Chain A
Amino acid sequence: MKISGKMASFFNFLLGDSARAFGALSVALVALLAVVPAADFLRDWRGYQKRYLRLVRGRSDATSLTRRFQPGLQQIWMPELGVVDRCPTCHSALREASLGDVKDQPFRPHPPIPHSVTGFGCVMCHRGQGAATTVEEAHRSTKSWEDPILPARYLESSCGQCHMERLTGTPLLNQGRQTLARYGCVRCHVIKSPDGVAMTGTDDPPSLAHIGAKTTREWIAAWLKNPQAYASSATMPNFQLPDDDIRDLSAFLIAQSTPYLASREAAPKVPTDDRALKNGASLFGESFCSSCHAIQNAAGMLVGGNLGPELTRIGSKAKPEWLADWLRDPRVYDPDTQMPHYRLDAQQRGLLMAFLGNKTDPDFLGNRHFDPPTSVQIDHGRALVNERGCAACHEINGVKKADNFAPELTLVGSRPLAKILFAPGVAHTLPDYIAAKIRQPRSFSTSLKMPQYTLAPEQVEALVTALLAQTERAQKMPTALRIPPRRASDYHAAGQAGRLMEDLRCFSCHTINGRGGDMAPDLTWEGTAVTRPWLVNFLKNPNTLRPALIRRMPKFNLTDAEADTLADYIMTVYQTPAFDRDSIDSSRFTRADAEHGKELFYGKYACQSCHIVDPDKDKGYIGPTLTQTGARLNAAWVFHWLKNAESLRPGTLEPVWKSSDEDARALSAFLVAQKIAPQTEPAKK
């Protein structure tokens, strides 16, 4: 009571009369203005610099640390990159490796990276506000500053602003970019690399133009309901469709389907007895189908590659007459398939059909039964196809691929937070927004069209990393700084051999002259490496060569003439310009050369740690078995392989030996003397 009375009289005194009020307010204003320079004087950075000096004082190299310390605002300025970084003002120890034991920020030295910190600045990789001089403004997003520090888990995204190639040090970024292509994200969203080239999909979605010949409406419906229930590795996302939509979509897809040029050959007889099933399984194994196709084993584990679709439930999907045609020659149904044309005879096809037809799952199809569709349903199905953008991935009769179906993501890594509508519960940062959107697209609005993907947490993290690399900064980067990716060439082999190589789809697995897959060794210089008789035999009867590779060369059942054509072509065309295949005449190797080579092999070089020459004694199982080297490899190739294998086959696991001429010659002599095919397969783990 008493106090408030006093306060009132005090205010009365101050503001009671206008002149005095003016005076009082002026004093208040001056005081306020004085605060600004004072606040500047008290800025955090001065405090940090004082703390830094205190920190180094007690250390043995205090004198040099203190001498290198520069007080005041520090700045890295690179106008051509748009970098104005004052971070070193507080991060005083960035380049002081001797402070490696300091655990407190801002005084940790920068860990080693391939770039100079002062040559690139901080915000290029870490984001944040380089020009800011307070902790708050530099690191967190405020109203006027939008770009907060990038969480450490996404740091690899920053490398992706200049590096478009696959770097060994950025596994997450590489995986993210691969996932964007593999899951077809780039089919709806345009995503341009910083060099302006749009990313393309690698998911190979099938055409639906003849789907009615391949499968049933019931299967289509079950698949649309949940593709991952058919194949856990399926890359098609779940569109979360209501049952009525599924009924109409499946009706439309069957209705638009046209017949394809089916073979006139009668379908092979399919044996059904247990022995046929077993023989079919062994044929599936011998043909190395599992190099590309996975099947779930009894324990529920997927066994096999993922280049082709999983086959665990193929019997519930494929119509027998379609399967017969496909096994005869897949290109009749799909001219662009990656699957090779196996030369299977009718009996072999019958066995495989028995084996595959038996891979059914009644639970997957369920008890769906459809009445014949009405035209209203079919029209509705067509409308849904347009609305959902199915044609972005699949060829469908009478439906055009929509352009700009989904927002372009080229600059998504710089999207201003102010333009983002956050779903409830999502932290207000760009990475969290992107992650939430990928995890559950519809959580933002149920009317959104983006489908639901089934992704592991690591895949989401990888995708966010790849998308965060799509910044405005990346687009504006000086061209000299950009490292373009290795883009595939359009190489095609010529003539009859070329046609054969397309037919066998060699490029699905092997790279030759810059085009092809990375599942099997590069064959660009294979003609220099191997001997013709070995090659012909291998093409007809491939055996295991490289234990380090899990996938195996399939057996195509080539005719003699086909194997000859391929071998001739490989032997004449796939030659390295570096040296002549016949430059070393192995007949001039002496016994002493080979003996000396043997000593080197087991002694100085210890090749037996990776290779087997004597199956009874050697155990190394990383490189190929060398028991047949003399029959397989040319002496000149072995000689140069021991000089620099990396230059002959980039990426090989063989160390680069740079052997002397004498050593390389002796080792070659020893190895080409190995010609006897082993009687028994070496024992292996």
Chain B
Amino acid sequence: MNRTWWAWVIPMMAGVGACARHPATPLEPQPKAFGAEVILVSGDKQVAGVGAQLDQPVVVQVNDSKGSAVAGAPVRFAAAGGVAFQPDRGLTGSDGQFTTNVSLGGMAGPYQIVAATTDSSGKRAEVRIEEIAVGYQERLGQQLNAIHCIRCHDPESTPERVSNHDNLSAQAHAFTEGAVLNAISDANLIAIISHGGAALNKSPEMPPYGNRLTKSEIDALVAYIRAVSDPPYRPQGVFYATN
């Protein structure tokens, strides 16, 4: 039975699909111009919960071979793993830019997005953009970071938050700085967060949080630090071939 019903269903679906598709497909926009390259303007390296929409839209720009913006050039977004774009294709605006809202897929991990344009001869140019989806644990870490750590560890200020980063004499690293943080083992991360900088012979300006946060909260912070690190964190130890 498993085999036989395909024989019925496939042509039926194809039939229905053929009828339905006609009005449903959005008309492919007719390009008014062509560029030679597409570059990222903003919106990469964002962190959002699995399946969630990124806070900021992703903006790309199409340039001609001399590097100036091209209006009305075609742009298409694509990605694997259940990433959704709103919209996924269109023409650049008068500033040569194209903006889309991105929802990440349902699995935690890094996602790669490709924005592509074609030149008049149909040759493709593309740019790759990274975004990060985080599961429950990393998201908890993200929230705790925003409460306790970010003022010292993020050099940027926002209207709601003044950064304390430059007021310190030792340097607190942004958690995205993989070059530094990937070199610290899980055990040492847990140690420095729980017992403070002094525990690792570093500056006591890093306060101890072992009595303020629970063990699972500290694990969540470590998971978050691992999730956002750039270059990505590769756990040490045994490696497996994936199949």
Binding site for B on A (CB under 8 A): 35, 38-39, 42, 55, 58-60, 100-103, 105, 108, 111-114, 151-156, 168-169, 171-172, 457-458, 461, 547-548, 550, 603-606, 608-610, 619-622, 644, 646, 653, 655-658, 684-685
- Hey, which chain B residues are within 8 Å of A100, CB to CB? 235
Cβ contact within 8 Å between B107 and A655: no
Among residues 152 to 173 in chain B, which have CB atoms less than 8 Å away from a CB atom of chain A? 152, 157, 159-160, 162-164, 166-168
Given A153-B51, A153-B52, A55–B140 Cβ distance below 8 Å? no
Assess A35 versus B242: contact at CB under 8 Å? Given A168-B144, A609-B167. no
Question: How far is A154 from B163 in the complex, measured between Cα atoms in Å?
Answer: 32
A606 with B203, Cβ < 8 A, contacts A101-B242, A155-B51 known: yes
> Once the chains bind, are A609 and B143 in contact (CB under 8 Å)?
no
Q: What are 18 A-to-B residue pairs whose CB atoms are below 8 Å? A: A59-B240, A101-B239, A102-B242, A103-B107, A112-B219, A151-B51, A152-B51, A168-B144, A171-B143, A457-B53, A604-B198, A605-B204, A606-B197, A606-B203, A620-B167, A622-B151, A655-B211, A685-B162
Q: Which 6 A-B pairs have the closest CB atoms?
A: A152-B51, A153-B51, A152-B106, A619-B167, A656-B211, A169-B140
For residue A610, which residues in chain B have a CB less than 8 angstroms away from its CB? Answer: 164, 207
Q: A655-B208, A655-B212, A656-B211 are in contact. Are A42 and B2 (CB under 8 A)?
A: yes
Q: How far is the CB of B57 from chain A (nearest CB, A)?
A: 10
Is B107 a contact of A153 with CB atoms below 8 Å? Answer: no
Is there contact, CB below 8 Å, between B160 and A550?
yes
Asked if A656 meets B243 with Cβ closer than 8 Å, knowing A39-B2, A620-B164, the reply is: no
Bitwise interface map of B from 205 to 243 toward A, beta carbon under 8 Å scored 1, else 0? 101110110001101100100000000000100111111
Q: Given A169-B220, A548-B151, A655-B207, output 9 extra A-B contacts at Cβ < 8 Å.
A: A151-B106, A153-B51, A457-B53, A608-B205, A609-B164, A610-B207, A620-B168, A684-B162, A685-B157
A9 to B209 CA separation, bound complex (whole angstroms): 88
The CA of A155 and the CA of B108, in the complex, are separated in Å by 13
A655 B209 Cβ-Cβ under 8 A: yes
Q: What's the nearest-Cβ distance from chain B to residue A57, in Å?
A: 10
- B103 in the interface (beta carbon within 8 A): yes
How far is the CB of A41 from the nearest CB of chain B, in Å?
10
B1 interfacial contact with A, CB 8 Å: yes
Cβ 8 A contact of B52, one of A172, A547, A606: A172
Known: A111-B136, A622-B151, A685-B157. A656 touches B50 (CB 8 A): no
A619 proximity list for chain B (CB < 8 A): 166-168
B137 with A609: CB separation less than 8 A:
no
Could you tell me if A461 and B162 are in contact, using CB atoms closer than 8 angstroms? no
Evaluate whether A153 and B148 lie within 8 angstroms (CB atoms) in the complex, with A171-B139, A610-B164, A685-B162 already known.
Answer: no
Which residues of B line the A interface, CB within 8 A? 1-2, 49-53, 55, 101, 103, 105-109, 135-137, 139-140, 143-144, 147-148, 151-152, 157, 159-160, 162-164, 166-168, 197-198, 203-205, 207-209, 211-212, 216-217, 219-220, 223, 235, 238-243
Q: Is there contact, CB below 8 Å, between B136 and A644?
A: no
With known contacts A108-B107, A112-B223, A152-B106, A58–B205 Cβ distance under 8 A? no
Q: Which residue of B lies closest to A169 (CB)?
A: B140
How far does the Cβ of A625 sit from chain B's closest Cβ, in whole Å?
Answer: 13
Using Cβ atoms and an 8 Å threshold, which residues of chain B touch A605?
204, 207
B1 to chain A, nearest CB (A): 4
In this complex, what residue of B is CB-closest to A36?
Answer: B1
Across the two chains, which residue of chain B brings its CB closest to A39? B1
Bound complex: CA A35 to CA B4 (Å): 11
Nearest CB in chain A: distance from B210 CB, A:
8
Q: Judge whether B50 and A152 touch: CB under 8 Å.
A: yes
Q: Are A685 and B163 in contact (CB under 8 A)?
A: yes
A186→B189 CA distance, assembly (Å): 45
Chain B, residue nearest A60 (CB): B238
CB distance from A660 to the nearest CB of B (A): 13
**Which residues of chain A are within 8 angstroms of B240 by Cβ–Cβ distance?**
58-60, 101
Closest-CB distance, A683 to chain B (whole angstroms):
10
How many Å from the CB of B235 to the closest CB on chain A? Answer: 8
Question: How far, in Å, is A106 (CB) from chain B's closest CB?
Answer: 12
Q: Which residue of A lies closest to B239 (CB)?
A: A101
The CA of A152 and the CA of B166, in the complex, are separated in Å by 38
Minimal Cβ-Cβ distance residue in A for B101 = A457
B162 x A111 contact (CB < 8 A): no
CA A657 to CA B203, docked complex, whole Å: 16
Assembled-state Cα–Cα distance A605/B207 (Å): 7
Contacts of A59 in B (CB 8 A): 240
Query: Which residues from chain B contact A111 at a C-beta distance below 8 Å?
Result: 108, 135-137
Q: How far is the CB of B95 from chain A (nearest CB, A)?
A: 19
Across-interface contacts of A169 in B (CB, < 8 A): 136, 139-140, 143, 220
Complex partner residue of B164 from A457, A603, A622, CB under 8 angstroms: A622
Nearest residue, chain B, Cβ from A685: B162
**Cβ contacts under 8 Å, B216 to chain A:** 114
Q: Which residue of A lies closest to B151 (CB)?
A: A622
Q: Which of B55, B108, B135, B241 contacts A58 (CB 8 A)?
A: B241
Chain A contacts of B164 at CB under 8 A? 609-610, 620-622
Give the residues in chain B near A685, CB-CB below 8 Å. 157, 162-163, 166-167
A114 surroundings in chain B (CB, below 8 A): 136, 216
B147 to chain A, nearest CB (A): 7
Residues of B within 8 A of A101 (CB): 239-240, 242
| Residues A153 and B209 in contact, CB atoms below 8 Å apart | no
A656–B217 CA distance with the chains assembled, in angstroms: 15
Provided the pairs A155-B50, A653-B147 are in contact, do residues A103 and B101 lie with their beta carbons within 8 angstroms? no
In-complex Cβ contact of A458 among B55, B135, B204, B220 (8 A): B55
> Measured between alpha carbons, how far is A605 from B208 in the docked complex, in Å?
9
Chain A residue at minimal CB-CB distance from B106: A152
Q: A154 CA to B50 CA in the complex, in Å?
A: 9
Query: B162 contacts which chain A residues (CB < 8 A)?
Result: 547, 621, 684-685
Residues of B within 8 A of A113 (CB): 136-137
Q: Name the residue of chain A whose CB is nearest to the CB of B165.
A: A685
Q: What residues on B are CB-neighbors of A152 within 8 Å?
A: 49-52, 105-107
Tell me if B50 and A609 are in contact (CB < 8 A). Answer: no
Residues of B within 8 A of A622 (CB): 151-152, 164
A521 to chain B, nearest CB (A): 15
Contacts of A620 in B (CB 8 A): 164, 167-168
The answer to whether A646 touches B143 (Cβ under 8 A) is no
**Which residues on B sit within 8 Å (CB–CB) of A156?**
49
Q: How far is the CB of B42 from chain A (nearest CB, A)?
A: 17
Taking CB atoms, residues of chain B closer than 8 Å to A108 are: 107
Look across to chain B and name the residue whose beta carbon is closest to the beta carbon of A644: B211
Q: Which residue of B lies closest to A303 (CB)?
A: B159
Question: In angstroms, how far is the closest chain A Cβ from the Cβ of B186?
Answer: 13
Interface centre among A60, A102, A113, A655 (most CB of B within 10 A): A655
Complex formed: what's the CA distance from A52 to B192 in Å? 39
CB-based contact B151/A58 at 8 Å: no
- Shortest CB distance A116–B (Å): 13
Q: Which residue of A lies closest to B50 (CB)?
A: A152
Rounded to whole Å, the gap between the CB of B171 and the closest CB of chain A is 12
Name the residue on B nearest A683 (C-beta): B167
**Is B212's CB under 8 angstroms from A656's CB?**
yes
Residue numbers in A under 8 Å from B144 (CB-CB)? 168
Distance (Å) between the CB of B28 and the closest chain A CB? Answer: 20
CA of A43 to CA of B21, assembled, Å? 32
**Nearest A residue to B57, CB-CB:** A457
Please name all residues of chain B whose beta carbon is closer than 8 Å to the beta carbon of A60 when the two chains form the complex: 238, 240
Residue among B103, B143, B212, B217 with most chain A CB within 10 A:
B212
A394 → chain B closest CB, angstroms: 32
Give every chain A residue within 8 A of B106 (Cβ-Cβ): 151-153
User: B205 and A609: CB pair below 8 A?
Assistant: yes
Chain A nearest CB from B20 CB (Å) reads 13
Complex Cα spacing A323 to B105, Å: 52
B236 to chain A, nearest CB (A): 13
Residues of A within 8 A of B241 (CB): 58
Cβ–Cβ < 8 Å partners of A35 in chain B: 1
Is the CB–CB distance between B148 and A653 below 8 Å? yes
Q: How far apart are the CA atoms of A653 and B164 in the complex, in Å?
A: 14
